């Protein structure tokens, strides 16, 4: 066991000197994430220590703050590697170019990855690689409406060591009048899977067969590197601009819910964030909002008179407005949560 004072000093030295294996400095927010990871580890070990709030760790926090400021002064933290979300227009383009759809094995896998990430709140490559066929179950309501339900296994923030779990099992509902219905895509994938890969413990994502005329998928899991580059490869093939990576799918889901005015506490229940304040990272203005603001300012500077009176879309308000409307401790009934989230995510992908 390390005395609290010594642990504080070790952390302070680490934050000041930590570098990547290449010798480059970490991004400022990466150091902050490392602090959070250490704190989470200590909590899971039930050590009753909080390095983020306890006064005994003020020194290491001050060092971390100073290091982050220094890194920003050196040009770090400009978010060059931040993932860009997919716009509705870009999703339409991917469908038009048959990179999303149910007509061939690759486009179908792309659809499944996008739907699983957006509707189920999945985030990392490891979660998709570890996804098993039995983790997604097809069910129906008492009125006959079909939906898919995801039962997650251990994740980065929910390891099973603690009793924490999502407030509800994420679902995606059918939309019978929509050709992009997520349940229809799932059914087509189920029909195309080799029969021997329908065991509940079989991998969800399967390798694409080279002989599509015989079978779409092989009796092997899709490689983790292939899964890790699904969005990047798809968007490059479709000529989509910006930094589009797998996290773009998750960012698309959360930012679209934020812009639609869904309270952050509901979004948190889907995304799996342990802290509702983390949703703030997804509350940046969308391209459409920025275009609208630019139009207002351009018209103002061009008219040399009073700016045009235009109503800014209140549904695209900032997260702070959403937060003020609902206490951070409130919980929305899961049935209402499912309906709100499903409607919004279906609209963004349709």
The pLDDT value given to residue 341: 67
The pLDDT value given to residue 54: 94
The pLDDT value given to residue 286: 75
Compute the mean pLDDT over every residue in the chain, rounded to the nearest whole number. 84
The pLDDT value given to residue 11: 95
| R_g of the chain computed on alpha carbons | 23
The pLDDT value given to residue 326: 35
pLDDT in tens, 148-171: 999 987 655 455 444 456 678 899
Which residues 6+ apart lie within 8 Å of 51 measured at CB? Answer: 7, 8, 11, 35, 38, 39, 42, 57, 60, 61
The pair of three-digit structure tokens given for residue 28, joined into one six-digit string: 């400022």
The pLDDT value given to residue 161: 46
The pLDDT value given to residue 327: 36
CATH class in words for 83-283+318-350:
mainly alpha
Distances (CA, A) of 109 to 88, 122, 206, 221: 19, 15, 9, 12
> What single string gives the DSSP state of each residue in 119-144?
HH---SHHHHHT-BGGGEEEEE-TT-
**Confidence class of residue 2 from pLDDT cuts 50, 70 and 90?**
confident
pLDDT in tens, 296-331: 888 877 765 555 555 555 454 443 433 333 334 344
Three-state secondary structure call for residue 236: helix
Closest CA to 18 of 38, 34, 36: 34
Residues of the chain with pLDDT > 70, as a percent, come to 81
pLDDT in tens, 218-262: 999 999 999 999 999 999 999 999 999 999 999 999 988 988 888
Whether the per-residue pLDDT at 295 is higher than 70: the answer is yes
Residues of the chain with pLDDT > 90, as a percent, come to 55
pLDDT in tens, 88-143: 999 999 999 999 999 999 999 999 999 999 999 888 889 999 999 999 999 999 99
Domain boundaries defined on the chain? 4-73, 83-283+318-350
| pTM to 2 decimal places | 0.67
The pLDDT value given to residue 165: 63
**Confidence class of residue 342 from pLDDT cuts 50, 70 and 90?**
low
Whether the per-residue pLDDT at 144 is higher than 90: the answer is yes
Cα(61)–Cα(189) distance, rounded to whole angstroms? Answer: 49
The pair of three-digit structure tokens given for residue 62, joined into one six-digit string: 């001050």
Closest CA to 234 of 85, 90, 94: 94
């Amino acid at each position: 066991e390390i005395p609290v004072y010594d642990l504080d000093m070790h952390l302070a030295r680490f934050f000041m000197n930590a570098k990547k294996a290449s010798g480059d400095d970490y991004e400022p927010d990466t150091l902050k994430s490392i602090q959070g990871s250490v704190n989470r580890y200590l909590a899971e070990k039930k050590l009753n220590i909080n390095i983020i709030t306890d006064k005994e760790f003020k020194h290491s926090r001050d060092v971390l703050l100073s290091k982050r400021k220094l890194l920003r002064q050196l040009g770090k933290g400009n978010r060059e590697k931040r993932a860009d979300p997919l716009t509705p227009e870009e999703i339409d383009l991917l469908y038009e170019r048959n990179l999303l759809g149910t007509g061939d094995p690759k486009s179908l896998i792309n659809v499944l990855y996008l739907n699983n990430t957006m509707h189920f709140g999945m985030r990392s490559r490891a979660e998709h690689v570890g996804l098993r066929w039995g983790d997604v179950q097809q069910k129906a309501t008492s009125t006959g409406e079909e939906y898919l339900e995801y039962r997650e296994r251990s994740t980065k923030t929910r390891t099973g060591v603690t009793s924490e779990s999502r407030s509800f099992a994420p679902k995606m509902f059918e939309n019978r009048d929509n050709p992009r219905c997520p349940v229809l895509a799932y059914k087509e994938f189920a029909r195309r899977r080799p029969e021997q890969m329908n065991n509940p413990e079989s991998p969800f994502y399967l390798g694409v067969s080279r002989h599509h005329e015989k079978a779409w998928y092989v009796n092997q899991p899709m490689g983790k590197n292939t899964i890790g580059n699904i969005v990047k490869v798809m968007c490059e093939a479709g000529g989509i601009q910006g930094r589009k990576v797998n996290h773009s799918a998750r960012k698309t889901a959360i930012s679209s819910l934020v812009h639609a005015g869904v309270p952050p506490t509901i979004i948190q229940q889907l995304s799996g964030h342990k802290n509702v304040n983390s949703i703030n990272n997804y509350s940046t203005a969308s391209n459409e909002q920025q275009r609208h603001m630019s139009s207002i300012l351009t018209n103002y500077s061009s008219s040399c008179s009073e700016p045009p009176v235009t109503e800014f879309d209140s549904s695209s308000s900032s997260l702070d407005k959403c937060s003020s409307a609902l206490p951070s401790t409130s919980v929305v009934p899961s049935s209402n949560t499912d309906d709100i989230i499903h409607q919004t995510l279906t609209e963004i992908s349709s």
